[in-house]
Amino acid sequence: MSQQDRATAPAATPGPSRAAGAAPRTVPEATVSRFAVYLRVLGQLSADDVATVSSEQLAALAGVGSAKLRKDLSFLGSTGTRGVGYDVDRLRTRLEHTLGATRRRQVAVVGVGNLGAALAGYDGFGERGFPVAALFDADPARVGALVGGTTVHHVDELAPVCHELGVDIGVVATPAESAQDACDRLVAAGVRCILTFAPVPLAVPDAVEVRRVDLAAELQVLSFHVARREAGPAPAPPPAHPSPRAAGARPAGPRPARSTTRRNGPVIVP
Amino acid sequence: MSQQDRATAPAATPGPSRAAGAAPRTVPEATVSRFAVYLRVLGQLSADDVATVSSEQLAALAGVGSAKLRKDLSFLGSTGTRGVGYDVDRLRTRLEHTLGATRRRQVAVVGVGNLGAALAGYDGFGERGFPVAALFDADPARVGALVGGTTVHHVDELAPVCHELGVDIGVVATPAESAQDACDRLVAAGVRCILTFAPVPLAVPDAVEVRRVDLAAELQVLSFHVARREAGPAPAPPPAHPSPRAAGARPAGPRPARSTTRRNGPVIVP
DNA sequence: AAGTGTGAACAGCTTCACAGCC
DNA sequence: GGCTGTGAAGCTGTTCACACTT
């Protein structure tokens, strides 16, 4: 979530048709999200010529517990070697395959305001296999402009352009009022996966997948925690470690950083 | 989810010190995230002069199920009227209070690249009570520039400027390599809530709250679902209900938009 | 000795269904 | 009659601990 979620129906791919091939395997949503993180870390390790990692190391780099990581990877079937660890490249390939990251996915961004323009110029997308292939806006003043190396088209052109470029994923970065319209157009153009930044629920057919990122809501959650702290002033000076980071000297690979982020555990409210 | 999470410690506010006052109440994290959404919707309803809403209506506008909504609100104590619904303004006030949204929170953005600049100019923040009060960058070429109405300071100025402006929340929008540094500086400046867009785990003291938004990871999850669909072409028309949800026709308020987003239910993988 | 893979306990969140109130 | 508030049931996801492999 922080995310959206479905309202009704027991849902979930009925997946009856399983012909010949490897045994089917059901992967929890939460695990899929983390796969993306592991993949990124593995890419970096690979670039650093690291050949194998232990669950402990990989977990530290990804910011999760090692038990969770092993459990996650177990959904891929056996990929590690006991007593040794995981072969970086092998695991990476396996993950890429599972995530469908073997080929690049063309991305279309609708709404070239502040956010949309930033996304168009955001290198992180292209680097990870998601080139922004097309930009759309309803404002004629913006149409034709070159943003982040891509020309802005009018939304009316959406369907043909998306078709031609083979767009797989749509990003809605319009104001809230136009979000549903943008979404409808994407759906009509055959796009079946949508990432939206508009803070409104989008109505889509069952076959379309939507993920919502609500930035202001994120801040609001943080705000809640600030407020919590202000109310209850430091329950006690941290019992143990005064400075979080200490661990062993960095071994070889990149940062040994470990997330000390507080997340679980419900909170008391006055 | 999508989010980051802690690695160690059983966590959770020990909250022993409970003096006189209302009964304490523990709110699940997931519920807090949705509170932010409800608050937004209520703000809109209030602007539209709607006086009361039923859980059904409010839920539809927020994109959740009505049962979940009622359960969530029950953590606030009784706020509705049976047989009638919720008083919009009353509920809104109650939520604002709980979320600590009664006063504006000053936000500092570190890293004024594409994303940082977009955030600086993003109206959604200010509108929801999170004015971007300060910008920082390590690149001297950017220092002094005026972005989104705010001057960019050098990161070395971070502590004094944040102090002076009373910054509550820090946003890390730097490249991955500098994220930990930016984070450390924020923490040193006394900022205890951080939202990061860098795809690396941040090491922070226990007292600091971090939320991570990994945009590329979001796309990767979507990519996974595209791949899923490509592999198994429509397993079968849904056994029972062809269209989920049928409910009543739109009642009164704005859009009856309903999110049909597929989220739950694990997935089959070849 | 080191480290994976996993069953089983556990915790958190969601959904159901209905009692209680207006 | 309509709608909230909530126990209880069910599910998803996390943590633990240890058997098993190299």
Tell me which of B56, B169, B194, B260 to substitute to probe the interface with A (most A C-beta atoms closer than 10 Å).
B260
Residue B231 phi, psi (nearest 5): -65, -60
Residue A191 phi, psi (nearest 5): -75, 130
Give the pLDDT of residue A232. Answer: 61
Please give the Cα distance from B88 to A63 (Å, whole number).
Answer: 40
Give the pLDDT of residue A229. Answer: 78
Contacts of A103 (CB under 8 A, 6+ apart): A129
Which amino acid, B198?
A: A
Chain A contacts of B258, Cβ < 8 Å? 7, 201, 203
Over residues A43-70, the mean pLDDT reads 97
Give the pLDDT of residue B269. Answer: 53
Contacts of B87 (CB under 8 A, 6+ apart): B51, B52, B79, B80, B81
Q: Where are the alpha helices (DSSP H) in B108-205?
A: 114-121, 123-127, 158-165, 176-188
By mean pLDDT, which of A10-24, A113-127, A226-240, B183-197 is the weakest?
Answer: A10-24
By mean pLDDT, which of A21-25, A35-39, B253-257 is the weakest?
Answer: B253-257
The Cα angle at residue B59 between residues A197 and B50, in degrees rounded to 5 = 95
DSSP B101-125: TTS--EEEEE--SHHHHHHHH-HHH
CA of A82 to C1' of D21 (A): 6
- Paired strand residues for A25: B269
CB distance B11 to A264 below 8 Å: yes
CB distance A136 to A153 below 8 Å: yes
A211-267, pLDDT tens digit by residue?
A: 999 999 999 999 999 888 777 654 443 333 333 333 333 333 333 333 333 344 456
B25 compared with A28, residue with greater pLDDT: A28
- Paired strand residues for A135: A109, A152
Which amino acid, A105?
A: R
CB distance B169 to B191 below 8 Å: yes
Please give the Cα distance from A91 to B111 (Å, whole number).
Answer: 33
Nearest to A217 among B36, B64, B244 (CB): B36
The CA-to-CA distance between both ends of chain A, in Å, stands at 25
Over residues A32-40, the mean pLDDT reads 97
Nearest to A63 among B201, B208, B238 (CB): B201
CA of B82 to C1' of C20 (A): 9
Give the pLDDT of residue A209. Answer: 94
Per-position pLDDT tens, chain B of length 270: 333 443 323 333 333 333 333 345 689 999 999 999 999 999 999 999 999 999 999 999 999 999 999 999 999 998 999 999 999 999 999 999 999 999 999 999 999 999 999 999 998 999 999 999 999 999 999 999 999 999 999 999 999 999 999 999 999 999 999 999 999 999 999 999 999 999 999 999 999 999 999 999 999 999 999 888 777 654 443 333 333 333 333 333 333 333 433 344 556 555
Q: How far is A145 from chain B (nearest CA, A)?
A: 17
Give the pLDDT of residue A129. Answer: 94
Is it the case that residue A270 has pLDDT exceeding 70?
no
Protein-contacted bases of chain D (C-beta within 7 A)? 1-8, 12-17, 20-22
Give the pLDDT of residue B261. Answer: 39
By mean pLDDT, which of A37-46, A175-184, A221-230, B169-178 is the weakest?
Answer: A221-230
Element (H, E) at A53: strand A52-53
Q: Is the pTM of this model over 0.85?
A: no
Give the pLDDT of residue A211. Answer: 96
Over residues A141-145, the mean pLDDT reads 97
Give the pLDDT of residue A233. Answer: 55
Judge residue A236's burial from the number of C-beta atoms within 10 Å of its C-beta, 0-12 exposed, 13-18 middle, 19 or more buried.
Answer: exposed
Nearest to A12 among B17, B213, B264 (CB): B264
Chain B contacts of A235, Cβ < 8 Å? 13-17
Give the pLDDT of residue B26. Answer: 87
